[in-house]
Each structure stands twice: as C-alpha cells, then as structure tokens.
Amino acid sequence: MVVGRVIAIANQKGGVGKTTTAINLAFALADSGRKVLLVDLDPQGNASSGIATPEDVSASRREGKTIYQALVGGLAIAEIVRQVRPTLSLAPAGDDLVGAEIELVTMEGRERRLRALLEPVREEYNYVLIDTPPSLGILTLNALVAADSVLVPMQCEYYALEGLNSLLGTINKVKAVLRPELELEGLVLTMFDSRNRLSHEISDEVRKHFPEKVFQSVIPRSVRLSESPSHGLSVFEYEPKSSGADGYRALAAEIVARGENGAGTN
C-alpha cells in the first residue's frame, strides 16, 4: 500500500460525478481500513455537506476552520480537519473559498500553498483525496501541484473526450513546470447506462485512446447515487447494496491494488 498518496479528483466540466466520486471513493477506501483525508477545495462545498453533519459543517464555518483559512489565513491544516468517521477525516470548505481565487493570485508561492499545507500531515493518512472546482483556476492548480496523481471522472456522453483533451493538456503543463512527478491516476467512466448504446460507444472510444489508463470499474447511472447527497449521506450509508456502491467499492479496490503493485508511485 502506498502511504500518504495524494490524489486530485478533477475535471473542468461540471456534472460528471466529480464530487460524488470524491465522497464515495473516500468512504470506500475508509471502509477498506485505510485512513483517508478528503480535502474539499470546491467553493460549492458539496463534498463537505456530503460526508459531515450540517452541525459540523456549520461549526467549521462559524469557527473559521475551513480550507480557506488554511490556504489564505495561515492556519495549519491539522487545525481545520474534522474526523467524521473512525478512518475518514475532512478538511471542509466554506463560502469564503470563493474569494481565494482572487486572493491567492498576489501571494508568494500561490500554486504550492496546498502542497505545503499537506506535507506535515500526509503521512498520517494512506490516501488524501482532493475534490476540485469544475474549472482550471488557481484552486485546481493548487490541487494538481499538491497531488501525486489525478483521477478524472468522465461522464459517458458525446462531449466527454473534447473536455478531456483540455484537462490532459493542463496536467502535462503542470507536470512540465511545477510538479514533474504528477501522473494520471486514471479515467473512471461515470453515469454509465448499460442499456444505452452511446455509453458503450464512449467507453470503447476512451479505452481505445487510453488503454492503460481507464479503470475497469465503471460507475453506473444510479437513482440511489443521485438521491444520497440530498440526505447528506454517502451511497454506502444510504443504500450499501446498490449498484453505485458496488461500483465505488470496485474502484477503491483497483486503486489500492495499483498502489500495492507500485503503479503510478513516485
């Protein structure tokens, strides 16, 4: 097992299941006995509300103990982390994170601030997952520079490959200039509808273009997956026997197996 592995979950296209993947992959890894930290770097804060109680999220924001205060305000990340399950912790986002995009621009070492924050704590966790905004701004850049690898959720739809090229271009630029060790963890197909011919066509096309980088695990289009966030629950808490839960269990197992085999490590 790779200790302290940091994985950014990124796609500049919205609605692809990015935050759903961050929440449920974090739960699946934690359920497998790994210690996991989920960093919510998306100003929408959906990953925070998806794994923590409303009271915990409100308390973090009221006390000023959010990822914004760590990135911009100088708090150590250990001061803002909340343990939400025995092996799962959260660095929550607050509304103030919207301002970070502007404030970080004038700060020294702005692209490396998250990396510096995580260095003292990453060995306390087996996996650090970073949920990023649906954009390629300074927050996503911080996530990429902090990460060892990037996990890209891809919706099985017509324009999926088009957006992917832009993201891969950004990853390559970050790798060339700021983070030479950055690797593509893999592409995970989301919202897959086995009854839909287009889903199969997109899957075949992506696997043809990236034969070594597409996970075998596929996340199905699932009513339970769609419903669980509205209840503030992961799919494992909402409906643990659903196809969505099975998909994320399989994805977590693949990621762990790749790490134990030395794939994608520095």
Instruction: Provide the CATH number for the domain around residue 32.
Output: 3.40.50.300
| Assigned domain for 73 exists | yes
Contact 151, 21 (CB under 8 A): yes
Residue 204 lies in a domain: yes
Task: Tell whether 265 is covered by a domain.
Answer: no
Strands 88-91 and 82-85: antiparallel
Domain, as residue range, for 140: 5-260
**pLDDT tens digits for the chain (266 residues)?**
445 899 999 998 888 889 999 999 999 999 999 999 999 999 999 999 888 888 888 888 888 899 999 999 989 999 999 999 999 999 999 888 988 888 998 888 899 999 999 999 998 999 999 999 988 889 999 999 999 999 999 887 777 777 788 888 989 999 999 999 999 999 999 988 878 787 788 888 888 888 888 999 999 888 888 888 877 788 999 889 999 999 999 999 999 998 766 544 34
Q: Which class for 211: exposed (0-12), middle (13-18), buried (19 or more C-beta within 10 A)?
A: exposed
- Cβ atoms 27, 19 nearer than 8 A: no
Contacts of 121 (CB under 8 A, 6+ apart): 37, 77, 78, 81
236 in any annotated domain = yes
User: CB–CB of 161/127 below 8 Å?
Assistant: no
Query: Rg of the Cα trace of the chain?
Result: 17
In a domain, 95, yes or no: yes
Q: DSSP code of 221?
A: P
Would residue 266 count as lying in a domain?
Answer: no
Q: Per 3-state DSSP, what percentage of the chain is helix, strand, and coil (rounded to 5)?
A: 50, 15, 35
Specify the pLDDT at position 230: 77
Number of structural domains found in the chain: 1
- Please check whether residue 241 lies inside any domain of the structure: yes
pLDDT given at position 145: 97
Q: What amino acid occupies position 195?
A: R
Residue 262 confidence (pLDDT): 57
Max CA distance (Å), the chain: 51
Residues 6+ apart with CB under 8 A from 93: 40, 41, 42, 43, 44, 45, 47, 48, 66, 67, 68
Give pTM, 2 decimals. Answer: 0.93
CB under 8 Å to 57, separation ≥6 — which residues?
45, 48, 49, 92
Q: What is the pLDDT of residue 209?
A: 82
| CA–CA dist 51, 31 (Å, integer) | 13
For residue 99, the 8-state DSSP code is G
Strand arrangement of the beta sheet that strand 36-40 belongs to: 82-85, 88-91, 36-40, 127-131, 5-9, 149-155, 183-190
Beta bridge partners of 83: 89
Which helix (DSSP H) or strand (DSSP E) does residue 9 occupy?
strand 5-9
